[in-house]
Amino acid sequence: MSVADEIRSKGRRMTVQRRLVLDALHRARHHTTAEEIARQIRARHPQIDPSTVYRNLEALEELGYVTHTHLDDRVTRWHRADVERHGHLVCRSCGSEQEIPLRTLEPLGRRLRTEQGFRADLAHSAIVGICRECAP
């Protein structure tokens, strides 16, 4: 079953706008911003409103094709849901970003699960701190 058929089977619709957002996420290697996706799409299709891009990212996330993470403070980063998940370390001094395997974060996940009954998504927000180069 194609993605379009899957989407339709859930009572949603496959529009040209939705397809374009999905394509843009496929072309992007890593996490992109909604603004960047909107910029790319509007370069060829200026009539497509940015709000449509934001709404489609949300819809595609509900449908399970897309997720988002938060790297530095404000911006939301979007990416396909089928790429391997990983955590992020962000240096608040130099801004450098580093990926870490989820395995490193798992012990904390297990602890929160058993002690608090909380199922943590430890890849959702980057961990902020000071990187090796910036530490005195």
Partner DNA sequence: TCCACTATTGCGAGAACTTGCGATAACCTG
Partner DNA sequence: CAGGTTATCGCAAGTTCTCGCAATAGTGGA
State the residues that interact with DNA by CB under 7 A.
Answer: 4, 7-9, 11-18, 33-35, 47-52, 54-56, 59, 74-76
By CB under 8 A, name the binding residues for a copy of itself.
Answer: 70, 73, 76, 89, 91-92, 98, 100, 104-105, 107-108, 111-112, 115-122, 124-132, 135
Instruction: Tell me how far, at minimum, the Cβ of 91 lies from Mn ion, in Å.
Output: 13
Distance of CA 60 to the CA centre of its chain: 11
**Rounded Cα gap, residues 104 and 2, in angstroms:** 35
CA–CA distance, 54 with 97 (Å, rounded to integer): 25
70 contacts: CB under 8 Å, gap ≥ 6: 76, 77, 124, 125, 126
Nearer to Zn ion among residue 48 and residue 89 (C-beta):
89
Tell me, residue by residue from 67 to 86, as one string, x for binding to Mn ion by CB under 5 A and - for no binding: ------x-------------
